[in-house]
Each structure stands twice: as structure tokens, then as C-alpha cells.
Amino acid sequence: MGLFSKKDVCPVCGRKIKGEVHVKIRDNVSVCQNCSAMINMDAAMIPNQTVEDIKEHLKYREKNLEKFIRFESTQEAKAGTTILYVDEPAKLWYCTRNKKEKNPPIFMYGELSGVQYLEDGQPIENEEKTGLLGSLFSDKAESKAIHSMKLRIELSNPYVKTVDIEMIAPNNEVKTGTITYKSNRRALEKVREILSGIQANQQGNGLYGANTSVTDEPAEDADGSAADE
Ligand SMILES: [Zn+2]
């Protein structure tokens, strides 16, 4: 019948896949480059998605784009290469490592389920009780090399379960007590403070919740796409 076997055609959009980079979903099904560029979910989830799941996800991504277009940042904070943006009236927020990202996943306040500060993978206790200022500025504090300092943000979103804001590049280290350590720490604490404010203010689903309209225009591009996984 057709010129191509079923394997050569993207099951999501019907476009021919010509030996291009593509993404494999459940049952070893290949999704074309265009479609996979629009996917934005935790990489570990992708191999479990069915064709229907992906179609639903791409509709979700179109709604996300609508939210992004209407997003008006009223509060922001930068930690390392990551920027947190908050739209307080709409009760929406997102993090990105690229200011020009065209369709970053947007989250409702209610989707934020936890924030933890980790050093070398170990949670550091809330220091409000022990005195954050004391620990940050004491010269007596013992100095040790650490290889990871990050905020782990946990979400109840269907596609993004965690967002990590890591301050130390791979194979680098930072000594506790140094200026670099302290400025990294302050930047993360600022982000954590804003996220704590979001958690304290979670009622409601945001102005632009489930009822936004969907355009027919596909997203041109999506940074952090699955294609380069
Ligand atoms: Zn496709």
C-alpha cells in the first residue's frame, strides 16, 4: 500500500522519519525530530510513553506555551546559571537556565511540593534554629571541600518531578567557608526563600489554569528538548 513501512513514519504527526535523530518511546516506537523537540518531561519517563501519551503531552505543551506567553514576572532570583521567575498575580513560576528558552515548563504554586538544600547529596538541616548567619560568617567553621551544592525542588507535576539547581560544575569543588561558598549559598537561600513564600501561598490554581485555549500553531522550538538525550 504505502511507500513507507509503518516504522518510517512518525506515529504522532505522520511525518516521514528520514534517518534523522529521533526519540524512542514504548515498544521501541520512534518519534520524529519535530515532535521530540516539543517534548519536555523527565528523561526517564520517555521510554514508557505510548503514542497517545505523547499526543496528550504535546497538547499540554501547547497549553504551557499559552501560559508562558501570558507570564509576567513580578519576582525573580538567580542562582548560578538558573533563574527563577514568579508571576505572583497568576500564581505561576518556572526555572530556566536559558533566558531565551521558548517554552519552559510553567508550574502552578500548588505543584511545588518541597525544597531541600543538599551538600554532596546530603540534606542540610534548616539552619534558622542554629543560626544561618553564624554558620555562613563564622571564621571558625571547619573548611572542607564539597563537590555539589544544590537546591532540589520537588514537584507534583505530571511531567517534571524534580528540578535541581546545582551551583558547582561537574568535577569542580568548593571549600566551605570561602567567598564562593558563601555567595553560592546566599543565592540558593534567596531562591529557597521565594519558593517558601510560594508554598505558604498555595491556595488556588492560578489565573491561567486548565481553561486556556490551545492554538493550532506548534511550538517552533523547545530548549532542553528530549532529542539531545
Ligand atoms: Zn512527528
Question: How far does residue 30's CA lie from ligand 1's centre (Å)?
Answer: 9
Percentage of the chain with pLDDT > 90? Answer: 71
Place of cell 492554538: 215
Q: How far is CA 75 from CA 25, 64, 129, 142, in A?
A: 37, 20, 27, 35
Cα of 32 vs centre of ligand 1, distance in Å, is: 4
- pTM (two decimals): 0.79
Question: Is 221 part of a structural domain of the chain?
Answer: no
Q: Please indicate, yes or no, if residue 212 is contained in any of the structural domains.
A: no
154/46 same-domain check: no
Q: 183 and 78 in one domain?
A: yes
Q: Looking at the structure, do residues 44 and 115 belong to the same domain, yes or no?
A: no
Q: What integer pLDDT is reported at residue 89 of this predicted model?
A: 97
Domain co-membership, 104 together with 54: no
User: Cα(65)–Cα(218) distance, rounded to whole angstroms?
Assistant: 10
Does residue 14 lie within any of the structural domains? yes
pLDDT at 221 over 70: no
Domain hosting 24: range is: 6-62
Q: What is the spatial distance between Cα 98 and Cα 75, in angstroms, rounded to a whole number?
A: 17
> Which of 17, 40, 62 represents a domain boundary (last residue)?
62
Count of the separate structural domains present in the chain: 2
132-161 pLDDT, tens digit each: 555 565 555 578 999 999 999 999 999 999
CA–centroid distance, 160 to ligand 1, in Å, is 22
Task: With residue 82 as reference, give the H or E element that holds it.
Answer: strand 82-87
| Cα–ligand 1 centroid distance for 228 (angstroms) | 16
**Residue listed under C-alpha cell 571558625:** 140
- H helix runs in the chain, sequence order: 33-38, 51-70, 132-137, 179-199
Do 103 and 160 have their domain in common? yes
CA–CA gap between residue 197 and residue 174 (Å, rounded): 29
Ligand 1 centroid, distance to 58 Cα (angstroms):
10
Q: Do 42 and 109 lie in a common domain?
A: no
161-191 residue pLDDT tens = 999 999 999 999 999 999 999 999 999 999 9
Q: 183 in a domain, yes or no?
A: yes
Q: Are residues 82 and 194 part of one domain?
A: yes
- Residue 21 C-alpha to ligand 1 middle, in angstroms? 12
Spacing, Cα 29 to ligand 1 middle (Å)? 11
Q: How far is it, in rounded angstroms, from Cα 89 to Cα 139?
A: 42
Has residue 224 been placed in a domain?
A: no
- The alpha carbon of 3 and the centre of ligand 1 are apart by a number of angstroms equal to 18
Phi, psi of 126 (to 5 degrees): -60, 120
Ligand 1 centre to CA of 62 (Å) is: 15
CA 8 to ligand 1 center in whole angstroms: 11
* pLDDT for the residue numbered 215: 43
Indicate whether 99 belongs to any domain: yes
Q: Within a domain: residue 228?
A: no
Residues 79 and 174 in one domain: yes
Q: Are residues 30 and 122 in the same domain?
A: no
Question: Does one domain contain both 140 and 111?
Answer: yes
8 Å CB contact between 49 and 42: no
In 3D, which of 127, 110, 136 has the Cα closest to residue 192?
127
Residues 30 and 129 in one domain: no
CA of 35 to the centre of ligand 1 (A): 4
> Residue 219 pLDDT > 60, yes or no?
no
pLDDT single digits (tens) 2-39 = 455 666 899 999 998 877 777 899 999 999 999 999 99
The answer to whether 6 touches 49, Cβ cutoff 8 Å, is no
Q: 195 lies in a domain?
A: yes
Question: Same structural domain for residues 52 and 117?
Answer: no
